[in-house]
Amino acid sequence: MKQEIVPIHSLEFLSKEILELTFISEYLASTAKPGQFINIRVGDNFPLLRRPFSIFNVDENRVSIVFNVIGTGTKVLARKQKGETIDVLGPCGNDFLSFVDDSFDTAVFVAGGIGVAPFRFLTKKLYNNKQIVTFLGGRHKEQIIASGLQNIKIATDDGSQGFKGTVLDLIKDDFSKNMYKRPRFFLCGPTRMMKAVSEFATGIGADCCASMECDMACGIGLCQGCNIEMNGGDKKYRLVCKEGTIFETKNLKF
């Protein structure tokens, strides 16, 4: 893990709502794994705390993140220009690859909205070894980012793209029609969605891991602010930033 000041390579809209920010970092490009995050100081004095972003893509010496412009941090980030620098700390947290083994054949990716972030990078690492099916959910089509994914199935609340309804409804519908050989679920998105999909996965006897979201101050385990409650085990809480962000959902008390 390192703290670096890195130059911005580009800032582009992927849809009307979602931006991709690419910066140059040899170190992160060579060390980061899918599902890990970087903690970015978006401004010099405002906002005070860093903001965590999942790694979206790694290409040669370039690393990118994606975000919706909704909060104070992302508003500052959206005004950055090519050539400016940002202060990044990472890679932080565990990664999805540590949840990949021989116990499954089909990787089922389920993303809600901006939760799509880690799956492009994960697809790159997995498509040679596993069958992949990707379910994307969003309120409407501007929240759907499908580039670099495989075997994509889309659900939007308003029906503006793909299936009209929730991503869980789409998964249920799809699983009633298709047989996936030994599936394992990989989730990233709103907690409520992940809880519902996790229950479905458990119901069909599939393992399920999820990248959890939580407000963080430090992102490296110093502040103990991002605790998540566990379902039994030796510790009542674990830290999302350091012991996650990815957990087996059966170990979580949602």
Partner 1 sequence: MIESFKIGDVEFKNRILVASGTFGYGDEVPDLVDISKLGGVVTKSLSMKPRDGNPNPRITETASGMLNSIGLANIGVQKYISDKLPVLKKYDTKIVANIAASSVDEYCKVLELLDAQQRVHGFEINVSCPNVKEGGLSFGTDVKLVSLITKELRQRTRKPLIIKLTPNVTHISEFARACEAEGADAVSLINTVIGMAVNIHKRTPKIATTTGGLSGPAIKPIALAKVYETVNAVKIPVIGIGGIVSWEDAVEFFIVGASMVQIGTANFINPATGITVAEGVKKYCENNGFDDVGRLVRTLQTNKTISIVDSWL
CB of 27 to partner 1, least distance (A): 12
Is 148 in a helix, a strand, or coil?
Answer: coil
For residues 1 and 8, which CB has a smaller minimum distance to partner 1 in the complex? 1
2 binds partner 1 (CB under 8 A): yes
187 binds partner 1 (CB under 8 A): no
Per-residue contact flags (x/-) with partner 1 for residues 220 to 249, judged by CB under 8 A = xxxxxxxxxx-----xxx------------
Q: What is the DSSP letter of 230?
A: B
Give yes or no for a contact between 219 and 50, defined as CB atoms under 8 angstroms apart: yes
> Cα(252)–Cα(243) distance, rounded to whole angstroms?
12
Phi first, then psi, for residue 68 (nearest 5°) are -90, 145
Using alpha carbons, list the distances in angstroms from residue 51 to 41, 54, 92, 173.
6, 10, 12, 36
List the structure tokens of 235: 């510790």
Q: How many residues bind partner 1 (CB under 8 A)?
A: 28
75 binds partner 1 (CB under 8 A): no
Answer for which of 218, 243, 245, 247 binds partner 1 (CB under 8 A) is: 218
For residues 197 and 218, which CB has a smaller minimum distance to partner 1 in the complex? 218
> Cα(115)–Cα(56) distance, rounded to whole angstroms?
10
CB of 123 to partner 1, least distance (A): 29
How many CA within 13 A on the CB side of residue 232? Answer: 4
Answer for which of 8, 24, 152, 217 binds partner 1 (CB under 8 A) is: 217
> Cα(95)–Cα(99) distance, rounded to whole angstroms?
8
Per-residue contact flags (x/-) with partner 1 for residues 35 to 64, judged by CB under 8 A = ------x----xxxxx--------------
For residues 151 and 227, which CB has a smaller minimum distance to partner 1 in the complex? 227
Interface ranges with partner 1 (CB under 8 A): 1-3, 41, 46-50, 89, 214-218, 220-229, 235-237
